[in-house]
């Protein structure tokens, strides 16, 4: 029974599958997005455009979230912030740890960036590790697909998520300016507050200060904490214990099976501070910043995993996940205490002739997190990293434009403790890339990209040293036969070096509750991806439809062997053929427009099918999802009602539980009492108003960490 339970959750540690966000004009509308990408200078004001400016507007299907929409969706982790976008899902391990999933890919196959530079954390190492990024201090977030992702790395097979913050200023304001955001969410008694201020220091210098704080309690839900199959397992275990005369322990399992209303050990607390200074001149700019990110959050564990009656608990064993009592059968709650200190640099030199500018971007991060059992240190992850890129931007020459550059990354990770499942390691990579776009007339546009990258993985603990050469390329074509209509296709050849975890793992991985074994002989993972799309943007509506397929000859996945070590199932990483395919579609239409307002209806759908040849379905695949909404705007007020339906996901591996369908109904509104561009905005929302229980198929904690119940939210933004 215990091995079956542990295997069921461990199976969910395979790579997952979701969808790319389609390019929807309404998603990237609004003054916030326009200002971030191409601000219009007033008078002699000098403005630095967003870095890197990948607004080619060709084949790189881009979804953006900013302005009121970003404020309303802001959550403690970027995965939850983006999860409602069409085609996007999230790992949703817990409220304190959630990473975005694009087109079914997560981890190293989705690059999460801050202003073009990686997050320099351990979030891709394990699902229970938080992403070091706070949306309260972010201006807007772009989701990118197509050849343009090779600017960031050939490993970004699923796409790239790029969050642009304002920590290094891009303009010198005429006077002191500030933003304040404060909010409350009822589902976890969540309070949040964030603020930023920019101070001009003469004509060419500007300083920036920001801080944020977020605190939430255990998550409230609308039904049982544990899924129906898991409750049956717990009750069966209780019945066996009663038959053996262990009435006390049987009662514990029965109590776990009956848990409802609140998910234990899901509270989180995060605070950040940051400062920046920039010099901005007509001939170039240079800026630096500092950021500290500090969070502590609960790590919920599968109830009953690792239970062995009266036997002694072996080292590294996972217990019931509750505070210890006199019987010795309960372990302390597990939490993660994480701190990162980060320094960033951004600069540019304006050039002439063929080249517009040379853009420089770099960051150094010092990262540490401690996995705590109660207040005792269990495992410590500590590391540091440096990342630097230089991009040479071409001027537009009769429709030909592009960018080329070099990209360096070096990081180390030291892991200490009984639950260290990989040795200490160092990773170093250097990449060279180019991205070119050409308009050839008759509405036809071409795009091509190429990247060469070499990656070295070293672990002195096990005398391991290997280098991987990765060649990646992409190409696309689009045709605009009529105004507002665009048809196109893209091809992307991806190449990804195996991660240190895939190469070197040899130990119990607590988050997946499995004993994982890597393979130091892996080669470069290669993929071939195709997508075709149709987009229409009319006066009263938009339509976007995209279909895609990505095939691998040697996809790296953790596969169960049927063995067990330390009473946990063994998963060995293997390279296998795999296929990911799916579609996303979105549409909106305004049937009514009047002076000062309009009525809009919109809909979206996404679906992914993924399989490992000779094995079966890839776990944690989001099912078919349908979304629909009605939105009314009149002068200072906007009101929206929306429905999201997730189909049942029964394409799951053996021993994994199917995920039931669920529906969320949401209401929201915002009010600008001093006008659309005024300094005050009030946003309110009632999410999941019928308090239904939903479980995200892309999360391997879905059997014991459901999505939030009814969540009433209010947010106030003030700018001056």
Query: Which pLDDT score, from 0 to 100, does residue 537 have?
Result: 94
Question: Which sequence spans correspond to the domains of the chain?
Answer: 2-225+264-719
Q: Can you give the three-state secondary structure of 700-717, one letter per residue?
A: CCCCCCCCCCCEEEEEEE
Angstrom distance (rounded) from CA 244 to CA 236: 13
Mention the CATH class of domain 2-225+264-719.
mainly beta
Is the pLDDT reported for residue 551 higher than 80?
A: yes
- Sorting pLDDT into bands at 50, 70 and 90, what band is 180? very high
Residue 144 has pLDDT above 50, yes or no: yes
Judged by average pLDDT, the poorest of 147-161, 167-181, 195-209, 656-670 is 147-161
pLDDT of residue 156: 87
Residue 412's closest CA among 423, 404, 398, 401?
Answer: 423
Q: How does 635-654 read in b/e, with b if 16+ C-beta sit within 10 Å?
A: eeebebbbebbbbebebbbe
Express each pLDDT in 614-661 by its tens digit. 999 998 999 999 999 999 999 999 999 999 999 999 999 887 899 999
The chain-wide mean pLDDT, for the chain, equals 87
Quick one: DSSP state of residue 30? S
Does the pLDDT at position 385 exceed 60? yes
More confident residue, 569 or 207: 207
Contact 188, 77 (CB under 8 A): no
Share of the chain above pLDDT 90, in %: 73
Three-class SS state of 5: helix
Highest mean pLDDT among 136-140, 661-665, 700-704: 661-665
- Three-class SS of 163-175: EEECCCCCECCCC
Name 37's Cβ contacts closer than 8 Å, sequence gap at least 6.
49, 50, 53, 55
pLDDT in tens, 266-308: 999 999 999 999 999 999 999 999 999 999 999 998 887 544 4
For residue 493, pLDDT over 80 is answered with yes
- pLDDT at 68 exceeding the cut of 50: yes
pLDDT score at 653: 87
Token pair for 205? 């210098």
**Do residues 32 and 67 make contact, with C-beta atoms less than 8 angstroms apart?**
yes
pLDDT in the model for residue 305: 59
- Mean pLDDT (whole number) for 466-489: 95
Q: Range with the lowest mean pLDDT among 52-61, 320-329, 461-470, 526-535?
A: 320-329
Q: How much is the pLDDT for 85?
A: 87
pLDDT at 314 over 80: no
Which pTM value belongs to this model?
0.88
For the ranges 307-316, 408-417, 682-691, which has the lowest average pLDDT?
307-316
The pLDDT, as a whole number, for residue 278 is 97
Query: Which residues are within 8 A (CB) of 327 and not within 5 positions of it... i.e. 6 or more apart?
Result: 248, 249
């Amino acid at each position: 029974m215990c091995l079956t339970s542990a295997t069921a959750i461990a199976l969910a540690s395979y790579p997952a599958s979701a969808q790319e966000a389609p390019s929807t004009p309404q998603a990237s509308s609004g003054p916030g997005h326009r200002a971030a990408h191409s601000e219009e200078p007033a008078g002699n004001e000098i403005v630095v455009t967003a870095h890197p400016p990948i607004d080619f507007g060709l084949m790189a299907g881009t979804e953006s979230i900013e302005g009121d929409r970003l404020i309303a969706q802001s959550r403690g982790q970027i995965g939850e912030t983006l999860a409602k976008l069409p085609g996007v899902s999230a790992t949703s391990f817990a409220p304190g740890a959630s990473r975005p999933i694009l087109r079914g890919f997560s981890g190293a196959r989705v690059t999460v960036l801050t202003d073009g530079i990686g997050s320099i954390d351990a979030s891709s190492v394990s699902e229970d590790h938080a992403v070091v990024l706070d949306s309260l201090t972010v201006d807007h977030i772009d989701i990118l697909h197509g050849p343009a992702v090779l600017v960031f790395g050939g490993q970004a097979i699923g796409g790239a998520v790029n969050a642009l913050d304002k920590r290094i200023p891009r303009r010198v304001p005429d006077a002191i300016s500030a933003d304040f955001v404060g909010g409350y969410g009822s589902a976890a008694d969540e309070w949040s507050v964030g603020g930023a201020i920019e101070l001009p220091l003469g004509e060419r210098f500007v300083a920036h200060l920001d801080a944020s704080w977020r605190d939430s309690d255990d998550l409230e839900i609308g039904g049982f904490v544990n899924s129906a199959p898991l409750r049956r397992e717990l009750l069966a275990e209780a019945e066996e214990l009663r038959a053996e005369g262990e009435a006390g322990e049987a009662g514990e399992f029965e109590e776990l099976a009956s848990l409802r209303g609140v998910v234990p050990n899901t509270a989180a607390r995060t605070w950040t501070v940051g400062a920046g200074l920039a010099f901005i001149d007509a001939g170039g700019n240079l800026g630096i910043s500092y950021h500290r990110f500090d969070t502590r959050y609960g790590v919920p564990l599968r109830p009953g995993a690792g239970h062995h009656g009266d036997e002694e608990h072996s080292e590294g064993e996972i217990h019931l996940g509750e505070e210890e009592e006199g019987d010795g059968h309960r372990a302390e709650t597990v939490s993660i205490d994480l701190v990162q200190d980060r320094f960033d640099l951004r600069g540019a030199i304006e050039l002439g002739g063929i080249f517009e500018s040379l853009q420089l971007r770099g960051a150094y991060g010092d990262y540490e997190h401690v996995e705590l059992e109660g207040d005792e240190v269990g495992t410590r992850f500590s590391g540091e990293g440096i990342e630097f890129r230089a991009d040479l931007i071409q001027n537009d020459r009769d429709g030909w434009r592009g960018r080329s550059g070099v990209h360096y990354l070096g990081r180390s990770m030291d892991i200490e403790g009984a639950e260290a499942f990989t040795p200490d390691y160092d990773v170093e990579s250097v990449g060279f890339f180019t991205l070119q776009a050409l308009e050839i007339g008759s509405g036809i546009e071409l795009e091509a990209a190429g990247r060469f990258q070499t990656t070295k993985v070293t672990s002195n603990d096990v005398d391991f040293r290997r280098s991987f050469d990765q060649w990646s390329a992409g190409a696309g074509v689009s045709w605009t036969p009529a105004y507002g209509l665009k048809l196109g296709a893209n091809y992307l050849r991806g190449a990804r070096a195996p991660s240190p975890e895939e190469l070197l793992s040899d130990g119990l991985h607590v988050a997946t509750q499995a004993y994982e074994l890597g393979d130091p002989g892996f080669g470069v993972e290669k993929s071939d991806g195709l997508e075709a799309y149709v987009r229409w943007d009319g006066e009263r509506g938009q339509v976007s439809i995209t279909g895609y397929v990505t095939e691998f000859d040697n996809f790296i996945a953790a596969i169960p062997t049927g063995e067990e070590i330390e009473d946990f199932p063994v998963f060995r990483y293997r390279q296998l053929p795999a296929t990911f395919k799916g579609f996303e579609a979105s549409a909106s239409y305004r049937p009514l427009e009047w002076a000062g307002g309009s009525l809009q209806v919109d809909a979206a759908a996404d679906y992914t099918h993924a399989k490992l040849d000779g094995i079966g379905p890839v776990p944690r695949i989001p099912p078919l999802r349908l979304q629909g909404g009605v939105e009314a705007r009149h002068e200072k007020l906007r009101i929206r009602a929306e429905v999201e339906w997730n189909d049942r996901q029964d394409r799951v591996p053996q021993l994994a539980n199917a995920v039931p369908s669920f529906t969320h109904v949401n209401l929201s509104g915002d009010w600008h009492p001093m006008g659309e561009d005024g300094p005050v905005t009030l946003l309110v929302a009632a999410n999941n108003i019928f308090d239904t229980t939903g479980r995200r198929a892309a999360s391997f904690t879905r059997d014991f960490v459901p999505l939030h119940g009814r969540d009433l939210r209010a947010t106030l933004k003030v700018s001056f």
